[in-house]
Chains A and B, each alone.
Chain A
Amino acid sequence: MTRFFARFHNLDRRWLYLAMVVILSVPVIIQIPLPPGATSPTTKGLYDLIESCPEDKVILIDSSWDAGSAAENRAQLECVIRHICREKIKFVVTSAGITVFGPEFANQIIEPIAAETGYVYGADWVSLGYKVAPQGSISLLIDGICKDLHSVYPADHRGTPVSELPLMDRVRTHEDFHLVYCVTYQPDNAWISFVKGQFDVPVAYGCMTISAPGYYPFIDSRQLAGMLIGNRGAAEYEELNHKPGLGRILIMATSFGNLMIILAAVVGNMGFYAARALERNARRRAG
């Protein structure tokens, strides 16, 4: 038995990679339903804020993700857009200073949902497109968006002047925003500093799980109104929406992966101790 476990001590890591691929493939191919988990306060914070949006305000969504972080940001944007469209809230989408592919990826998600819910482009929602951060400083861009959105974005992503878009008549400064929801790999803290700190507009994030620990202090200090953390956040939000989607599928598969990692850690440790025991026995026999 000891010899059997000792083999795991020096197991070629490629077997682990293969096992992980196989384990993750199962829930991707066959969708196994998992019971919904508890909703975290960070997710609930964003949901409640969207629910309380008054009719005369819009939600600004900064969607600055592309293929690099689609693994988690896609589901985070999808569930929030579904909720916004269900509540008939008007929204504006920007892509500030991070990735030029932001608008393309965001529109892939938004357009089908907008069509499904009868949202009219220009009247109910607008995609302003990508803007390079001036002097490489996203702070200046965010400051400009809050002070005069029209000067930062004279035209939308299709090149239509914003003056020709009915929705943009009533959206110009931070006073017209009910909430700024920023979805990207690792949202810039300038959103908190300027949008919340200077202009007192609530800010919420949708970020990768790896970035989330750095933002918890802002939740505690109420500088962030809410946050969707990776696919878990998306799955929780879908639960609140009563519309299971991509987040639910992905978090279920991630759970399988986590189980596999825990199992590998346990077996690896058993292998380590078994190998040490064999070494001790060998030394005793030799001595």
Chain B
Amino acid sequence: MNEPLTIWVGAIVTLAVFSYLVKENAFYRFFLHAALGTTVGMGIVMTIKQVLIPNWYQPIANAVTGDGPMTGLLWVLALVPGSLWYFQMSKKHFWVSTLVSGLFIGVAAGLAFKTWMLLIMPQIGASLKPLNPFDGGFTGEKLAEVVSNFVFIASLLTALLYFFFSFSTESKLMGKPMRFGRLMIMVCLGGMFGSTVMTRLSYLLERLRFLYQDWIGRQILSLFGG
């Protein structure tokens, strides 16, 4: 695809999306549906090209033509569990599909278990932070670190208290720590929302740069000899 056409299409689609800010309209809806359709179409093509042909069809074809080992023919057997997925469309025989979906869920659960163990265990260790400013000599930096660690541990424990344990908020003993935990969660969510705003601004900026530099600067102005 040549560059000017790509830029013009990009600009029209960008303006179509921006038009939603003014009012919900058919121009916007058309491009929304076009984007969804393109994504689905791309997904199907990519699955065939990147997964089915090299991983399934090619070993079978190579075995048949003698370009690869005969064990490649075993891939035909993959059709059996693969076909079982289609039983999800039948109310009567739905249970057949659960045989293969169970297998997939088992594999996913095993991988998830390993992933989370490797992910979470070091964090539990990292949650144990020193609170003694005199350990290894007292300095201002050390004191600042200890204060930071204290805030971290207090936030961790009180957030867990608020989130995981269902004490009454009226409780004399647990009420205040729980309220502090809730406050810390609110601070964290506020920070996350700030990050969201930053990202949205970046998106807008990127589109504006595209419209000004690529579309107006390189395409429209060139039409007027600019």
Indicate if B174 sits at the interface (CB-CB under 8 A): no
Proximity bits, A217-257, B CB within 8 Å = 1, else 0 = 11011110000001110000000000000000010011001
* A137-B107 Cα distance, complex, nearest whole Å: 10
Indicate if B40 sits at the interface (CB-CB under 8 A): no
* A198-B202 Cα distance, complex, nearest whole Å: 35
Chain A stretch 1-42: residues in CB contact (< 8 A) with chain B: 14, 17, 20-21, 24-25, 28-29
The reply to whether A139 and B212 contact each other, CB–CB distance below 8 Å, is no
Indicate if B160 sits at the interface (CB-CB under 8 A): no
When distances are taken between beta carbons in the complex, the residues of chain B under 8 Å from A210 are: 192, 195-196, 198-199
The dominant DSSP class at the A interface is helix
A254: contacting residue among B114, B126, B191, B205, CB under 8 A: B205
The reply to whether B202 and A231 contact each other, CB–CB distance below 8 Å, is yes
When distances are taken between beta carbons in the complex, the residues of chain B under 8 Å from A254 are: 198, 201-202, 205
When distances are taken between beta carbons in the complex, the residues of chain A under 8 Å from B212 are: 25, 28-29
* With contact pairs A221-B126, A253-B205 given, residues A17 and B195 touching in the complex (Cβ less than 8 Å): no
Chain B stretch 167-211: residues in CB contact (< 8 A) with chain A: 188, 191-192, 195-199, 201-206, 208-209
When distances are taken between beta carbons in the complex, the residues of chain A under 8 Å from B205 are: 24, 28, 71, 250, 253-254, 257
Indicate if A209 sits at the interface (CB-CB under 8 A): yes
The dominant DSSP class at the B interface is helix
B16: min CB distance to chain A, Å: 15
The reply to whether A250 and B202 contact each other, CB–CB distance below 8 Å, is yes
Chain B stretch 95-129: residues in CB contact (< 8 A) with chain A: 104, 107-108, 111, 114-116, 118-119, 122-123, 125-126
Indicate if A287 sits at the interface (CB-CB under 8 A): no
Query: Which of B25-33, B46-54, B83-91 is near enough to bind chain A?
Result: B46-54
The reply to whether A230 and B202 contact each other, CB–CB distance below 8 Å, is yes
Q: Give the A-B pair count, Cβ closer than 8 A.
A: 115
The reply to whether B118 and A217 contact each other, CB–CB distance below 8 Å, is no
A197 nearest in chain B by CB position: B118
* Interface range on chain B (Cβ under 8 Å from partner): 35 or more
The reply to whether B208 and A21 contact each other, CB–CB distance below 8 Å, is yes
* With contact pairs A24-B208, A28-B208 given, residues A193 and B115 touching in the complex (Cβ less than 8 Å): yes
B115: contacting residue among A139, A212, A231, CB under 8 A: A139
The reply to whether B199 and A209 contact each other, CB–CB distance below 8 Å, is yes
A62: min CB distance to chain B, Å: 16
The reply to whether A223 and B47 contact each other, CB–CB distance below 8 Å, is no
The reply to whether B204 and A21 contact each other, CB–CB distance below 8 Å, is yes
When distances are taken between beta carbons in the complex, the residues of chain A under 8 Å from B51 are: 132, 134
B121: min CB distance to chain A, Å: 8
B117: min CB distance to chain A, Å: 8
When distances are taken between beta carbons in the complex, the residues of chain B under 8 Å from A220 are: 123, 126
The reply to whether B42 and A213 contact each other, CB–CB distance below 8 Å, is no
Indicate if A52 sits at the interface (CB-CB under 8 A): no
B119: contacting residue among A189, A222, A230, CB under 8 A: A189
List 17 A–B pairs whose Cβ atoms lie within 8 Å, in order of A's numbering. Answer: A24-B201, A24-B204, A28-B212, A71-B202, A71-B203, A72-B199, A132-B47, A132-B51, A137-B108, A139-B111, A189-B119, A193-B114, A210-B195, A211-B195, A220-B126, A221-B122, A250-B206
Q: Which 5 A-B pairs have the closest CB atoms?
A: A197-B118, A221-B126, A71-B206, A210-B199, A193-B118
